[in-house]
Chain A
């Protein structure tokens, strides 16, 4: 009797001890996760996720209040990285593959007020007061801030037209 109880008891103790140790050693601090997530984000503080800043959004995501795919300008790359960090499954369906868009300025009605230029988080708009502004396509993240502030409505997000170079095969239906 004792022969069978003792080893089992010993085994139990040992495993319990190991688990305890593991939970200490492998403990991940919550706030650390938030910081790590923040590092994955674009850092443009664009507010498209509904949070006031990227930092706040990262906190919310770490606390499970936001889904991994919360960041629209980050796209799928960021969503995947965040999901990986949190060990959550990525619900790709929630990531409605929005067509990439770019800000475009209608030259006829731009009055050169520089408001868009001031709010752009990536300095993708160039131009000085009273002059026509231009958008740098590769720096624009389509966050839409400029659209909000433009007094004449001349700046809009338009879908990027597909070219032979950007076209790729779709997922085959199976």
Chain B
């Protein structure tokens, strides 16, 4: 079959062998769990528990707020110890409001949680609602609330549901292991999502460097009407635009959502979470995390309760072989540097990596030699070197006209650059800068309007006062005249 040729991409060494032979193990409870109220894109959740309150496992502790948001559930039973700021799993390392939970070790489930006996019999809208109230977000790392995406896709009407088993980031093997160990649950979750959005077909795309996962999913998908396809391993194959194009031939138009073209993509781990929420009555309270990197003693995959601090995870599961040069949450390409090890595992944490200097393999940035490696690597057909040059000159608008808004931030260009230029960093800096300018301009607009309104009001008030005075004077004059005339 003719498959559409994909552009760009790079082949970073996978390092999957470090952790892909290690089965998923249940991680024990930490002494404290920190549950940030913002673990997803959109508005933070609102806490509904009080300090000192006893909660059960799976109990709702913070409810979603606004249209794009997701609730948070207690990963285990215990006592709420604090509602305070904690280092956010975010490159800035700024604090975020978090619920501190002290587990009591009893693992008592919230009795109100019950599986649905036949979820496929529920109306699609109801399914979306339940997925939303289970706190499920995109587990591939984007952490967009799943229910919002499903709901809008249902309204829009999508044709194809794509399950992303690409896992193109090096090191990460959590999806790989999940596909090998729970293929049935993933496929069932996919069918539930298919029902929720009323899609005509389901395609699972898996990179060909995961033959066992491919075989397991193939087997589980047999007779289910789910198509399973192997896709070439190349970074960023797991990016939505690239995978959709490879599997369906559709090139998603710029500035549109995938649903507009009749496609919806979800991660395999999200499918499993959907299955667990509907068929086991288990909201999203834990996830599979890959622990890897050559600075660690033991690499592996763990099913970790959300809120477990990274330090606890590393200390219990591995320990350091040597001092890590960098600690990363997520994959090495798009993941973030951890501000410190107190950061908790959240819904979007696919991995915790401790890399050595050799693995990072970068140098001081030098001048661009126009080698065009970045142009060849860019999956979006951009010219990173030109955009970077304009950004360095402070010409953000020019960079935008060259396609800055189309950059998906995959990092392929920075990866390949022989001059070690921080290209994506420049792009994200420019994006932030443009956004803040827009905010400033809007504020200026508003200020101007407000100042004008005030100016007008002052003038009006002065005039009114003037008129009042005049009227009074006139009245006084009349009065004086009146008093005079009769006499």
Chain A interface (Cβ < 8 Å from any Cβ of B): 42-45, 73-78, 92, 120-124, 138-139, 141, 162-164, 167-172, 174
Q: Give min CB distance, A79 to chain B, whole Å.
A: 11
Q: Is B324 an interface residue (CB 8 A)?
A: no
Contact in complex: A122, B94 (CB < 8 Å): no
Q: Is B453 an interface residue (CB 8 A)?
A: yes
Contact pick for A121, options B90, B425, B431, B451, CB 8 Å: B451
User: How far, in whole Å, are A92 and B394 apart by their CA atoms in the complex?
Assistant: 10
User: How far, in whole Å, are A78 and B88 apart by their CA atoms in the complex?
Assistant: 34
Chain B interface (Cβ < 8 Å from any Cβ of A): 38, 88, 90-92, 94, 96, 365, 392, 394, 421-422, 425-426, 428-429, 431-433, 435-437, 440-441, 443-444, 446-448, 450-455
Count A-B contacts at CB 8 Å.
Answer: 78
Contact pick for A168, options B88, B436, B443, B444, CB 8 Å: B436
Contact pick for A138, options B392, B394, B431, B443, CB 8 Å: B443
User: How far, in whole Å, are A174 and B92 apart by their CA atoms in the complex?
Assistant: 20
Q: Give min CB distance, A55 to chain B, whole Å.
A: 12
Given A167-B94, A169-B425, also A174-B451 (CB < 8 A): no
User: How far, in whole Å, are A76 and B394 apart by their CA atoms in the complex?
Assistant: 12
Q: Give min CB distance, B343 to chain A, whole Å.
A: 13
Contacts of B422 in A (CB 8 A): 172, 174
Q: Give min CB distance, B272 to chain A, whole Å.
A: 28
- Further 9 A-B residue pairs, CB within 8 A, beyond A73-B447, A139-B446, A172-B426: A42-B444, A74-B444, A75-B440, A77-B441, A122-B450, A162-B92, A162-B94, A172-B422, A174-B365
Contacts of B435 in A (CB 8 A): 168
Contacts of B431 in A (CB 8 A): 168
Contact pick for A123, options B428, B436, B443, B450, CB 8 Å: B450
User: How far, in whole Å, are A120 and B451 apart by their CA atoms in the complex?
Assistant: 9
Contacts of A76 in B (CB 8 A): 437, 440
Contact pick for A169, options B38, B428, B450, B451, CB 8 Å: B428
Contact in complex: B446, A123 (CB < 8 Å): no
For A90, give the chain B residue with the smallest CB separation: B394
Q: Give min CB distance, A53 to chain B, whole Å.
A: 11
Contact pick for A171, options B429, B441, B453, B455, CB 8 Å: B429
Contacts of A121 in B (CB 8 A): 450-451, 454
User: How far, in whole Å, are A172 and B364 apart by their CA atoms in the complex?
Assistant: 12
Contact in complex: B447, A164 (CB < 8 Å): no
User: How far, in whole Å, are A124 and B453 apart by their CA atoms in the complex?
Assistant: 12
What are 23 sample pairs from A and B whose C-beta atoms fall under 8 A apart? Answer: A42-B444, A43-B448, A45-B451, A73-B447, A76-B437, A92-B394, A121-B450, A138-B446, A139-B446, A139-B447, A162-B94, A163-B94, A167-B92, A167-B94, A168-B431, A168-B432, A169-B91, A169-B428, A169-B429, A169-B432, A171-B429, A172-B365, A172-B425
Contact in complex: B92, A123 (CB < 8 Å): no
User: How far, in whole Å, are A162 and B432 apart by their CA atoms in the complex?
Assistant: 14
Contacts of A124 in B (CB 8 A): 450
Given A162-B94, A164-B92, A172-B426, also A44-B433 (CB < 8 A): no
Contacts of A45 in B (CB 8 A): 451
Given A138-B443, A141-B447, also A164-B432 (CB < 8 A): no
User: How far, in whole Å, are A76 and B365 apart by their CA atoms in the complex?
Assistant: 28
User: How far, in whole Å, are A164 and B392 apart by their CA atoms in the complex?
Assistant: 25
Q: Give min CB distance, B60 to chain A, whole Å.
A: 23
Residue picked from A124, A141, A163, A169, most chain B C-beta under 10 Å = A169
Contacts of B433 in A (CB 8 A): 168
Given A162-B94, A164-B92, A167-B92, also A122-B451 (CB < 8 A): yes
User: How far, in whole Å, are A174 and B389 apart by their CA atoms in the complex?
Assistant: 12
User: How far, in whole Å, are A78 and B447 apart by their CA atoms in the complex?
Assistant: 13
Contact pick for B96, options A73, A164, A169, CB 8 Å: A164
Contact pick for B453, options A123, A163, A174, CB 8 Å: A123
Residue picked from B436, B450, B455, most chain A C-beta under 10 Å = B450
Contact in complex: A139, B450 (CB < 8 Å): yes
For B392, give the chain A residue with the smallest CB separation: A174
User: How far, in whole Å, are A171 and B365 apart by their CA atoms in the complex?
Assistant: 14
Contact pick for A43, options B421, B436, B451, CB 8 Å: B451
Contact pick for A170, options B94, B96, B429, B446, CB 8 Å: B429
For A121, give the chain B residue with the smallest CB separation: B451
Contacts of A74 in B (CB 8 A): 444
For A167, give the chain B residue with the smallest CB separation: B92
User: How far, in whole Å, are A123 and B425 apart by their CA atoms in the complex?
Assistant: 39
